[in-house]
Amino acid sequence: MKERITAIILAAGQGKRMNSRIQKQFMLLQEKPLLYYSLRCFQDSEVEEIVLVTGNGEIEFCQKAIVEAYGFTKVKAVIAGGAERYDSVEQGLACVEDGIVLIHDGARPFVSREMIRQSIIAAMENGACTVGVPVKDTIKVVDEVQYGIETPDRKTLWQIQTPQAFRTGLIKEAYVRMRQDGMENITDDTMLVERYCGVRSKIIMGDYHNLKITTPEDFIAAEAFLRYDLQSKESIL
């Protein structure tokens, strides 16, 4: 039987580091909301349904000004998230049926259909996977007063991105166990299945363009990437 494929797109962050009154997921990038780009990619992918998680006061805006305005027909629900990212993921998972679920940060506008396709395949084969890229710089582990204490081998280090894809039952079980354990320092969903379910996550190649928009400098980079992509398409035509 074909497995159901659902995406949870997270757009509930406050974006405090952007120094803007407008939440970063709604800031305009080439005259479209930042959130538009990831939604468009998932709309055009093998994903069958999308659950969009946003702020409690932004549900109507997202539904009308983004989902309906741009014809994102795969969005089956727009729901409110929680105080932390993991709270929002948990709310999204409550709306997801068994199958494969992809979790993606709405502030990563340059996800590609190929990343989504490869993530689905890897999750079907391994149970859990994430996209990422090898780090380019040397990484230092420092102590509480910022003295270096370790220099890990760069060849073993990857910068983790989204989407992250899972068998739905696996990630739901990990969240149940996380709540029972009272764990809160969660920066990544694959760490939960690794810790609580004993499942190692497959790392697949992402893209250095697949950055998360967090600061004003990231937004400048995103504008440059988008201009480059548009110019490349025009040159091909």
Residues 106-158 have pLDDT tens digits of: 999 999 999 999 999 999 999 999 999 999 999 999 999 999 999 999 999 99
Q: How confident is the model at residue 16 (pLDDT cuts 50, 70, 90)?
A: low
Separation between Cα atoms, residue 21 and residue 66, nearest integer Å: 19
Please provide the average confidence, as pLDDT, over all residues in the chain.
Answer: 91
For residues 203 and 132, is the Cβ–Cβ distance under 8 A?
A: yes
Identify the pLDDT of residue 11.
Answer: 94
Q: Which residues pair with 104 in a beta bridge?
A: 9
Using CB atoms within 10 Å of the CB of residue 144, give its burial: 0 to 12 exposed, 13 to 18 middle, 19+ buried.
exposed
Separation between Cα atoms, residue 167 and residue 171, nearest integer Å: 7
Identify the pLDDT of residue 21.
Answer: 62
Q: Is the dihedral of CA 200, 194, 101, 88 positive or negative?
A: negative
What interhelical angle do 113-126 and 34-43 show, nearest 10?
A: 60
Q: Which CATH class is domain 5-131+160-236?
A: alpha beta
Separation between Cα atoms, residue 82 and residue 115, nearest integer Å: 27
Percent of the chain with pLDDT over 90: 79
Identify the pLDDT of residue 169.
Answer: 97
